[in-house]
């Protein structure tokens, strides 16, 4: 990089660090996740502006690639409106509709709803930050067996070798996503915490547990909490063997 370009970039970064930052999430989504039952023609998601100034909002759905350009996304849903303004203490409903192609009928499919809150321009030397909220959009086919609320209790666990480390593997035999909010293990008085994520339906997921070292003949006690359709936590426990 030429020296004058490098100096300009460093100068801009320095200015950004010195400026006061204005970042506030004024636009609130009324739910922690969106459930789309296959038998419905569309679902609505309510947004509200809890701030004191109007906000410009952009909304879109992605397929799991959080940083992909919008023009590269190909999702089987429509969303309206994609760009709008919400005045203070007012609300706006997003309408999500299903488009082709057909999605799997034997399990849920997961996409993501994005809401970008762009604050109004303010006077003065203030670095403004647009905030993006991103929540799960779960498409739920009709006639799935079992219950989404009880899916977390069906998880089975084991400790497996991955490269030079031991990791915790969860298997989900149900057709529903299990979304974990916490995950921990206990063995011989040692407690470990892992980074929670989700376990896809009819599949397995692995979780890194730094320091996990199974003892032959001794089970690892797994404790976890899953988030249900309404955002409530449902706790569960299990045993994991090497």
State the Cα–Cα distance between residues 227 and 209, nearest whole angstrom.
Answer: 20
Q: What is the mean pLDDT of residues 73-79?
A: 95
Q: Is 220 exposed, middle or buried (0-12, 13-18, 19+ CB in 10 A)?
A: buried
Residue 2 lies in a domain: no
Domain termination site, one of 140, 159, 186:
140
Residue 117 lies in a domain: yes
What confidence tens digit (pLDDT) does each residue in 148-184 have? 999 999 999 999 999 889 999 999 999 999 999 999 9
Are residues 101 and 121 located together in one domain of the fold? Answer: yes
Q: What is the mean pLDDT of residues 213-240?
A: 94
Are residues 159 and 232 located together in one domain of the fold? Answer: yes
Residue 32: give the domain boundaries. 26-140
Domain termination site, one of 94, 113, 140:
140
Per-residue confidence (pLDDT) for residue 238, from 0 to 100: 97
Are residues 136 and 220 located together in one domain of the fold? Answer: no
Domain termination site, one of 140, 169, 203:
140
Q: Is 101 exposed, middle or buried (0-12, 13-18, 19+ CB in 10 A)?
A: exposed
Residue 208 lies in a domain: yes
Kindly report the average pLDDT of the chain as a whole number.
88
Asked if residues 207 and 157 have their Cβ atoms less than 8 Å apart, the reply is no
- Whole-structure pTM value: 0.85
State the Cα–Cα distance between residues 160 and 12, nearest whole angstrom.
Answer: 48
State yes or no: pLDDT of 39 exceeds 70: yes
pLDDT band at 127 (very low <50, low <70, confident <90, very high): low
State the Cα–Cα distance between residues 186 and 188, nearest whole angstrom.
Answer: 7
Which sign does the torsion angle of CA 173, 176, 177, 178 carry? negative
Instruction: Tabulate helix, strand, coil % of the chain (nearest 5).
Output: 10, 50, 40
State yes or no: pLDDT of 89 exceeds 90: yes
Are residues 33 and 135 located together in one domain of the fold? Answer: yes
Per-residue confidence (pLDDT) for residue 112, from 0 to 100: 98
CATH number for the domain harbouring residue 30: 2.60.40.10
pLDDT band at 6 (very low <50, low <70, confident <90, very high): very low
Main-chain phi, psi angles of 107, to 5 degrees: -165, 165
Per-residue confidence (pLDDT) for residue 23, from 0 to 100: 44
Main-chain phi, psi angles of 152, to 5 degrees: -60, -30
State the Cα–Cα distance between residues 153 and 156, nearest whole angstrom.
Answer: 9
- Domains of the chain: total: 2
Q: What is the mean pLDDT of residues 199-206?
A: 98
Terminal Cα-to-Cα distance of the chain (whole angstroms): 51
pLDDT band at 218 (very low <50, low <70, confident <90, very high): confident
Are residues 105 and 169 located together in one domain of the fold? Answer: no
Are residues 102 and 163 located together in one domain of the fold? Answer: no
Are residues 30 and 136 located together in one domain of the fold? Answer: yes
Are residues 84 and 39 located together in one domain of the fold? Answer: yes
Give Cα 97 distance to the centre of its chain.
20
Only one residue has tokens 């006639």, namely: 143
DSSP secondary-structure letter at 39? T
Per-residue confidence (pLDDT) for residue 120, from 0 to 100: 72
Are residues 105 and 175 located together in one domain of the fold? Answer: no
State yes or no: pLDDT of 3 exceeds 50: no
pLDDT band at 10 (very low <50, low <70, confident <90, very high): very low
State the Cα–Cα distance between residues 46 and 224, nearest whole angstrom.
Answer: 30
């Amino acid at each position: 990089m030429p020296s004058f370009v490098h100096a300009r970039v460093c100068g801009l970064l320095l200015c950004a660090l010195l400026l006061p930052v204005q970042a506030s999430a004024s636009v609130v989504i009324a739910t922690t996740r969106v459930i789309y039952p296959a038998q419905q023609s569309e679902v609505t998601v309510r947004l509200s502006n809890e701030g004191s100034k109007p906000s410009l909002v952009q909304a879109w759905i992605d397929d799991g690639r959080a940083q992909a350009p919008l023009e590269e996304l190909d999702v089987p849903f429509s969303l309206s409106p994609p760009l709008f303004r919400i005045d203070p203490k007012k609300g706006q409903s997003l309408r999500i509709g299903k488009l082709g192609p057909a999605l799997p009928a034997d399990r849920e499919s997961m996409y993501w709803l994005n809401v970008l809150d762009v604050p109004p321009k303010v006077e003065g030397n203030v670095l403004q930050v647009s905030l993006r909220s991103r929540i799960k959009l779960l498409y739920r086919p009709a006639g799935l067996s079992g219950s989404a609320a009880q899916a977390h209790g069906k998880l089975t666990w084991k400790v497996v070798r991955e490269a030079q480390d031991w990791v915790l593997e969860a298997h989900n035999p149900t057709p529903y996503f299990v979304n974990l909010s916490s995950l921990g293990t206990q063995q011989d008085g040692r407690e470990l915490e892992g980074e929670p994520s989700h376990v896809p339906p009819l599949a397995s997921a692995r979780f890194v547990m730094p320091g996990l070292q199974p003892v032959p003949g001794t089970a690892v006690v797994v404790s976890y909490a899953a988030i249900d359709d309404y955002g409530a936590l449902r706790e569960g426990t299990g045993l994991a063997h090497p």
